[in-house]
Amino acid sequence: MDLNRLWQNTQEEFKIAVSEATYQGILAQTRLVSLKNNIATIGCSNTYFCELIEKRYYSLIKEVIDRQTKKNNSLVFVVDFQEKKEKKEKLGPLFKIKKTLSFDKKNNGFSSETGLLPYYSLDTFVVGPANNFAHAAALGIIKNPGGAYNPFFVWGGVGMGKTHLIQAIGNAITEQHPQLKILYIAAETFTNELVSALQNKTITKFKKKYRTCDVLLVDDIQFIAGKEYSQEEFFHTFNNLYLSGRQIILTSDRKPEEIQPLEDRLISRFMGGLTVDIQPPDFEMRLAILKQKSKERNISVPEETLSFLAETIKSNARELEGALSQLVNKAQSSNQEITPDYARTLFGFKKKQLRRISSRSVLAKTANYFSFKTKDLCGKSRKAELVIARHIAMYLLRKDLSLPLVKIGELLGGKDHTTVIYAIGKVEKQFSVNQNLRHQITTIRKSLR
């Protein structure tokens, strides 16, 4: 088998083994330079990618090449100068400000009638395992507002993209259903306007504003907690809209039952439709977010620099965007090229703060979460809950520690690598649609920090 055919077959297996974002953003950027004496030389576009791919995907690449060649191979990662030269000639300078944009968020097309900002769209909403269930539901709502997903309750931490998503829903409905009246507000605005209406005796006008819209989008609904009159008025507004088949979309930094103090009748209504969470983005999604933000700002930043930021800053999209802005602004002001080394001088300290997680800790914390002993987790019992716990442990060992499949099988009581592949694949498929599973994995991850 010639090298091109071998690598083509290998890439086809990569597409199945990893997410589309991982494949397109990372593994598709490699090529098989040579294969001699059972040593496969893998070409990468730059030094940073060499280190990243070797660290994260060595075992995967080796397993696939070994299977394709039916031999036991070793891997060597090198900077592929031929590919790098072709790419550079095609793209031009590594760092170039294409155009300075006037991007005033306060006045950039803001609609005082709807409260929507046009730059929030689903086209610029980066989708990954952390949010694709919420994204899929959004598409359903846009197609049929007031239908199956009503109310639609989105919760997640700060900077996870909740505002972007519901604003994008509002903009898409405006475009596809122009006859519908849409209103986006922050919960705090609802409270302030209610207080003003009571003071100025304009409560009828207030009620008309909120109860005559076809789609009501309320951001940060948790801010009505503890405000009795706001809860009372929102309860009646909610009922009025819901009973007449109009769409309600809410966001919060926590799920409905955790918003306290909030009346039980509101909690019940918030949970009466579809409740979804948005989790922190994984590496591939963080890299995609940075690429999208660079595109929006019309700037070109070396991919290895974006990869460094994605690897270093793991919290949320907002912090990623802030880091990118800081990096670009400082580079411009000091006339510096944006290299990984330059980025490291600004953000490298964060990498040093990361604590190394051991495989033993993953097994112990997973077992403890499900109230098992580690020996039970690594045993042969096929009890349903033990199997779930075992699959999650395999998933975490692979995704968070990048352990080889064979090693994971050994740690879990001598399971073969096909069993491990099946388990990880099953968790990956369920991660985006099973909120309970996502909650279990997130909780275990937090306990490991």
Q: What is the pTM of this model?
A: 0.64
Query: DSSP readout, 352-419?
Result: HTPPPPPHHHHHHHHHHHTT--HHHHTS----HHHHHHHHHHHHHHHHTT---HHHHHHHTTS--HHH
Note whether 222 and 139 are same-domain residues.
yes
Among 257, 278, 299, where does a domain finish? 278
Give the pLDDT score at 1: 61
pLDDT at residue number 179: 95
- Measured distance CA(183)–CA(392) in Å, rounded: 41
Lowest-confidence segment of 99-108, 264-273, 304-313 by average pLDDT:
99-108
SS3 198: helix
pLDDT tens for residues 30-52?
889 999 888 899 988 777 677 77
Report the C-alpha gap between 198 and 179 in whole angstroms: 31
Mean local confidence (pLDDT), 302-312 = 86
pLDDT higher than threshold 60 for residue 91: no
Task: For residue 289, give the CATH number of its domain.
Answer: 1.10.8.60
Structure tokens at 26: 């990372």
pLDDT, residue 434, reads: 79
**Is 150 in the same domain as 173?**
yes
Q: Quick check: 243 pLDDT over 50?
A: yes
Of 222-236, 255-269, 433-447, least confident by mean pLDDT is 433-447
Domain identity same for 237 and 174: yes
Are 314 and 239 in the same domain?
Answer: no
Q: Based on the domain organization, do 71 and 188 belong to the same domain?
A: no
> What is the model's pLDDT at position 73?
87
Q: What is the pLDDT of residue 270?
A: 95
Q: Are residues 334 and 386 in the same domain?
A: no
Residue 193: pLDDT band with limits 50, 70, 90: very high
Three-state SS for 87-104 is: HHHHHCCCCEECCCCCCC
Nearest Cα to 4, choosing from 31, 36, 40?
31
Tokens encoding 90: 């095609």
Residues 134 and 211 in one domain: yes
Higher pLDDT, 218 or 344: 218
Residues 221 and 299 in one domain: no
pLDDT for 53 equals 82
Question: Is 113 within a domain?
Answer: no
Q: Which of 250, 278, 306 is the last residue of a domain?
A: 278
Q: What is the CATH number of the domain that holds 12?
A: 3.30.300.180
Task: Out of 146-155, 260-269, 342-351, pick the least confident.
Answer: 342-351
For residue 106, being part of any structural domain is answered with no
Does the pLDDT at position 171 exceed 80?
yes
Shared domain for 132 and 271, answered yes or no, is yes
Q: Is 102 within the bounds of a domain?
A: no
Measure Cα distances from 335 to 194, 327, 328, 339 in Å.
51, 12, 10, 12
- For residues 204-231, give the mean pLDDT: 95
233 shares a domain with 211 = yes
Confidence band of 111 (pLDDT split at 50, 70, 90): confident
pLDDT, one tens digit per residue, over 373-405 is: 999 999 988 899 999 999 999 999 988 887 888
Cα three-residue angle 432-26-312, rounded to 5 degrees? 75
Final residue before a domain boundary, out of 254, 278, 302: 278
Instruction: Tell whether the model's pLDDT for residue 172 goes beyond 70.
Output: yes
Place of tokens 């086209």: 123
Binned at pLDDT 50, 70 and 90, residue 85 comes out as: very low
What string of H, E and C letters represents the secondary structure of 266-334?
HHHHHCCCEEEEECCCCHHHHHHHHHHHHHHCCEECCHHHHHHHHHHCCCCHHHHHHHHHHHHHHHHHC
More confident position, 26 or 413: 413
Residue 99's pLDDT is what? 32
Give the mean model confidence (pLDDT) for residues 262-280. Answer: 92
Share of the chain above pLDDT 90, in %: 40
Look at residue 384 and tell me if it is in a domain. yes
Q: How far apart are CA 346 and CA 329, in angstroms?
A: 12
In a domain? residue 100 = no
Instruction: Considering only residues 85 and 426, tell me which one the structure prediction assigns the higher pLDDT.
Output: 426
Confirm whether 114 is domain-assigned: no
The predicted model gives 100-118 an average pLDDT of 63
- Higher-pLDDT residue of 126 and 183 is 183
* Percentage with pLDDT > 70 across the chain: 89
Tokens of 210: 């909120």
Amino acid 119: pLDDT: 85
Going by C-beta distance under 8 Å and a sequence separation of 6 or more, which residues neighbour residue 8? none
> Domain span at residue 330?
283-352
Residues 253 and 317 in one domain: no
State how many domains the chain has.
4
Q: Which residue type occupies 77?
A: F
Q: Residue 444 domain-assigned?
A: yes
Same domain, 155 and 269: yes
CATH number of the domain at 190, please. 3.40.50.300
CATH number where 374 lies: 1.10.1750.10
